[in-house]
Structures are given as C-alpha cells and as structure tokens.
Amino acid sequence: MLRRKQTTSREESAAKKSNALPQFAESTEEIRDRALIWMVGTFLAPYWVQLVVVFVLLLIVSGLSLLLPWLIQQAVDGPITSRNIDDLIPLGIVYFATIAIIFVLRFAHTYLLQTVGQSALVDLRQKLYEHLLRQDMRFFNTTPVGQIVSRMTNDIEALTELVSTSIVVLASNMITLVGIVFVMFALNWRLALLGLAVMPVMIAGTVYFRKKMRSASSLYHKVVGEYLAFINEQFNGMLVVQLFGRQQVSRDEFDVANNRLRSVHMSWRDSFTAYSSMLQILTTVGLAIVLYGGGQGVLAGWATLGMLIAFIEYMRRSFEPILMLSEQVAQLQTALAAGERIARMLRVEPEIRDPAAPVPPTNNAPAHSFTFENVTFSYEEGHPVLRDLNLHVQAGQRVAIVGATGAGKTSLAGLLARFYDVKQGRVLIDGVDVRELSLADLRARVTVVPQNPYCFNGTIADNLRLFTPSISFEQMRAAAETARAAPFIERLPGGYDYELLPGGANLSQGQRQLLALARALIHSPNSILVLDEATSSIDTETERCIQQGLEELFKNRTSLIIAHRLSTIRDADRILVMQRGRVIEDGTHDELMRLNGAYARLYQRQFDEAQSEKSVEPITGTD
Ligand SMILES: Nc1ncnc2c1ncn2[C@@H]1O[C@H](COP(=O)(O)OP(=O)(O)O)[C@@H](O)[C@H]1O
Ligand SMILES: [Mg+2]
C-alpha cells in the first residue's frame, strides 16, 4: 500500500516541526500488509467457525434489507393502485416479519462478533505481554515505558475495533452496496442509471477525502501518543521540575502539546465536515434527478409509481453504506497503523534467550566458581566498557571489587547474570559458558542485589516473598534478621504487613536496600551473591551489622561485593581494583597495601578521613 507509506513520511515531517515533544525512538522496519493480515489472521483463526457464521448472517441481513423497498413497490403498484386493501395485509405481514428477522440476525451477528473480537483481544494481549516478559535488559533500557504502555492499550484497542466492527461493517456495506446496484438494474435500468448519476462524483470525493481524513487520523493518534509520553515524563520528573523551578517551561511545553492536539483534531474535523456536507448535497441532487427523471418515466410509462418510491428508498440506503464505508476506511487505516506497531514490537527478538539445548548444571552445591575469559564488552559499538578482562573466582571465595564510578563494575555483574552478552571472550559458571545454561538455571546461580532496588506496590511481606505464598513467615523473618532489615520492619506500623507505596516511596533508599538484600537471601539460597553497592545508602553501623549477619552465609557461598567503603571489604579473600574496564590490582588487603598502588592510596585517603571525623560523635543507627 503505497499510500500509507506516503502518509507516514508526511506525518513524520509534521511531527518533526514540534521539537518540544519527545519522539518515540521506534524501529523503522517495514511491516508488509500481508504480514499484518497474517498476524491478525493467526489471532482470528481459532474462531473461524464463528466468523463464517457471522459472514453468512451478514449476507442474509443484507439480502433481507434489500427486500424491503421491493415490498413497498409491490404494495404501491399492486393493492394500493388497485385499491384492494385485503391484498395489502399479507404484504404488511411479510414486511413486518422481515424487519423482525433482520433485528434478530443483526443482534446475533453483533453478539458473535463482539465475543470473537474480545477473545482474540485477550489472546493478543496475553501474547504481547508474554513476549515483553521475554525481552532482555537492552530492550527495556532503550524502549520508553510509555511506548510499551501505548502498545498494550491504545494500539490493541484500535486493532480490536478493526476485528470486531470495522471488518464487518466494511463487508456488510460492500455487500449492501453491490446488492442495491444489482437490484436497481434488475428493476429498471433507466431509473438505475439516473439513480447512479451522482455516484462517480461521490466516489471521487470519497477517495479524495479519505486520503485527507486518514492522514489526519493517524497523525492524531501519533500526537496523542506524544502527548501521553510528555505528561508521563513531566509527572515522573516532578521533583526536578519543582526543585529547579521549571514550571513555566513545563507549562509552555504543555501548551504546545495541547494546542497541537487541538489543531490536529481540527484538521480531521474540517475534512470530515466538508466530506459529509458534500455527501448530503450529492444525496439531495441524486434524489432530485431520480424524482425528475423518474416522474417523467411514470408519465411516459416506462416506470411505475411504486418503482419510483422503491428507488428513492434504495438510494437512501445506498448513501448510508458509502458514508459508513468512508468512515470505516479511515478507522481501518488507524487500526492497520496500530497493528503495524504491535507487529513491530512482536518482531523484536531478545538477544538473551535460552539456548536450543541447554547444558544441565553440574554443580548444585551452594558455592559456585566463575570465570571471565578474555572478556570484552560494550553497550555501544566502539566504546568498550570491559577490555580483555580475565578473572577466575573459586567456589566459596569472597571477592570485593573497588574502582571509580564508571569503571565497569556494574557491567561486570550484569555479564555474570547474563543481562547482556559479551562481545568477545566467555563468562563461565562452574566451567560452563553462561550462554549454554538455561536462563532459569543461570539466574538460580547468580543473584545481583542492585544499588537501586525496586519495590512493588504491596506489603513488606509481599515484597520479600515476591508474592510467593509458599514461603513461610519464619523463612522470611530469618532472612530479614540476617540482612538486618528486621529491626526497621518491626518498627513500622503493621510490621511485615506495612503497605508500600508504588516504587517503595514510603521507605528510605537504605531501607529499600535492606529489603532487597533480605529478598535475595530468601529467593536465591544457592547462588553467587553479587552485592552491587547494595549497602551504599546504609549507615556504617548497620552496614557493619549486616557484615556480621552475612559472615555465616559467606562461608559456604561465593560472593562478589562491589563497594566504595573500603572498611567493609577489608576481610575479603580477594580485592580487585578496576579502572576503565580492566582489573589493575588483585590480591588480599595486606598484599595490596604492600603493593602500595591504587588500592593503598584509596585506603589511606579513606582512613585519613575517618581519623579526622573521629572527633565528631558518630550519629548512627537505623532510627
Ligand atoms: N545501559 C547502558 N548503556 C550504555 N552505556 C552504559 C549502560 N550502562 C552503563 N554504561 C556505561 O558503561 C560504563 C560502565 O558503567 P558501570 O558498569 O555501570 O560502571 P560502575 O558500576 O563501575 O560505576 C559507563 O561509562 C557507562 O556510561
Ligand atoms: Mg555501578
């Protein structure tokens, strides 16, 4: 469909004009109409029986409604002209029965179709959601949440609209229109020609306005999407907006977005109004032609009065499908555009996925070894974050990583959990390449406790159990004790039943970190524990307590602790110093101190600072 592509490029150039609005960075991969129809088809396929029934019902309804004007003609030319009232009664009964049957059949096909549409919608939503769940971190890092939400809501709705109404209305109107033309010619070809005189103008107008309305309508949907994204962004960043007094700027940008919405909608309105006025005028002109020409025909004898009345009725009925068709075509285009966006999202395949034949894990003990073999990794081509990194950690070792912000520590942890794949080299766990393990096995062996943990809307217990009811209260409490989260939880109103706000907004960052630590202990009892600055927002005193609590745990597990406070990692079996994607020092605290390199300098600086702060009474504790 050439036309649609043209519209898209026009939309894009129009959209570029307003640089105040965030633009979706969506892949521009082209989806062919055939692929789109295929996609819609696969979702409708299970319901083909219902769809066939719907189509048959439609045919019957269209046929029956064509019967009505003909019945009027029979009445006018027969009993009414011959003043035979008795013959009028059976015709009246047939007329009434036809209307009744049409009513019942219409109800049946609408009901059936709505059911099919909703079921297909449920399937599609489920499929899309499951597809999104499979995506890797790269996808979620590069796809705005607003865009995903828009796919899951607006676009799916537009597509359902297509399935449950547009296709049917389109089909039934086409059938009716063809039927009307056919019947008109069968009844009286001269009258039919008169009746269709305005048709070419009507079709030309429809084609012209359809193009205008379609481009306006898809532009409108796009602008609505941008508007939603803008609002979402502003409200999420409200703290920054208020803190830096950006209200005026925000208001002005909103003003632009708001007015754009109006102007795009107005341009659609203009086309639609012009179009429907044109149709109305042409309808009247068409009727006038039939009345005038048909009147002559009645007088001249090549038409009857009943025919004339029937024709007027047929014409009235033919304008309706044309109007509906043009509306449906506009909707169809919107739905196709939505379907295209959904199809595009469904086409994204995660880079990180289960191997075809996963290697069964050999080591089911709590402690695992891991190895980085000549690992080079980059998020963006040409900007390596880890460079030719080699590291072997034995099972049960407690390894610490220190290094400047941006050195690549979090990236290293991410590679171990296979959130990303290496560009060169290998990452191994117990001697098996992480790419050969199933993701479930792998993630049962590596747990990362992030610096900025997420809390779900729910109680503290929900967040610890992650909504798994089989985890006992004792189990949860023990983990909370070990992670030193229990004291603060028990002080909260309701304790473990305390309701968290979305994102855990009613906890401090440090408290969220304690929860995340406890959560990791509950859910991954046999994994390599990676603490990625997991206690960075926790005061020194509590951090020391956590260390003591974890001491027991560390004994028979492998752990990787990324930290800035060197006091917490002094006792590690090994300390790695990272700099710009490389490990530059590797050894125990004492060895590195003797080496007198980067670590020694870092340690000395922190030690000095601690000494100078000694005079100040430390204010610690989780209260
Ligand atoms: N998702 C990402 N996409 C692109 N670059 C990233 C991403 N995450 C981190 N980086 C880059 O990788 C480098 C290392 O980051 P990171 O591993 O988080 O460092 P650290 O944890 O040591 O502070 C940084 O320069 C950062 O800009
Ligand atoms: Mg980091």
222, 22 Cβ separation under 8 angstroms: no
Give me the sign of the Cα torsion angle 192, 197, 203, 209. negative
Question: What pLDDT is attached to residue 11?
Answer: 38
Could you tell me the residue ranges of all domains in the chain?
A: 2-16+28-347, 451-525
Counting Cα atoms < 13 Å in the Cβ hemisphere of 209 gives 25
Q: For residue 452, give the DSSP letter.
A: S
pTM value is 0.78
pLDDT higher than threshold 50 for residue 111: yes
- Name residue, tokens 């789109």: 36
Atom of ligand 1 nearest to the CA of 562: 21
* Residues lining ligand 1, Cβ inside 6 A: 141, 379-380, 385, 403, 405-411
d(CA 478, CA 482): 6
Question: What pLDDT is attached to residue 211?
Answer: 79
Fold of the domain built from segment(s) 451-525: Rossmann fold (3.40.50)
pLDDT higher than threshold 60 for residue 525: yes
CA distances from residue 506 to 326, 456, 466, 578 in whole angstroms, order as listed: 53, 12, 18, 35
Question: What pLDDT is attached to residue 4?
Answer: 38
From the list 451, 450, 452, 478, the residue with the least C-alpha distance to 465 is 478
From the list 422, 351, 431, the residue with the least C-alpha distance to 387 is 422
Contacts of 294 (CB under 8 A, 6+ apart): 191, 194, 303, 307, 308, 311
- Residue scoring higher pLDDT (455 or 146): 455
Question: What pLDDT is attached to residue 474?
Answer: 93
Atom of ligand 1 nearest to the CA of 141: 1
Atom of ligand 1 nearest to the CA of 578: 22
Question: What pLDDT is attached to residue 279?
Answer: 84
Average pLDDT, whole number, for the chain? 85
In this structure, the residue with its CA closest to atom 6 of ligand 1 is: 379
Angle subtended at Cα 491 by Cα 463 and Cα 513, rounded to the nearest 5 degrees: 40
pLDDT higher than threshold 50 for residue 304: yes
Work out the average pLDDT over 157-175: 79
pLDDT of 526-538, one tens digit each?
899 999 998 888 8
Question: What pLDDT is attached to residue 600?
Answer: 94
Spell out the alpha helix ranges (H) of 417-563.
Answer: 439-443, 460-465, 473-482, 486-491, 509-523, 540-555
Which of the four pLDDT bands, split at 50, 70 and 90, describes residue 22? very low
In this structure, the residue with its CA closest to atom 4 of ligand 1 is: 379
In this structure, the residue with its CA closest to atom 2 of ligand 1 is: 379
Is the domain defined by 2-16+28-347 classed in CATH 3.40.50.720?
no
- Residue scoring higher pLDDT (620 or 196): 196
d(CA 613, CA 609): 6
pLDDT higher than threshold 50 for residue 12: no
- The torsion defined by the Cα of 251, 256, 257 and 259, in degrees rounded to 10, comes to 120
Question: What pLDDT is attached to residue 32?
Answer: 64
212, 11 Cβ separation under 8 angstroms: no
Question: What pLDDT is attached to residue 175?
Answer: 85
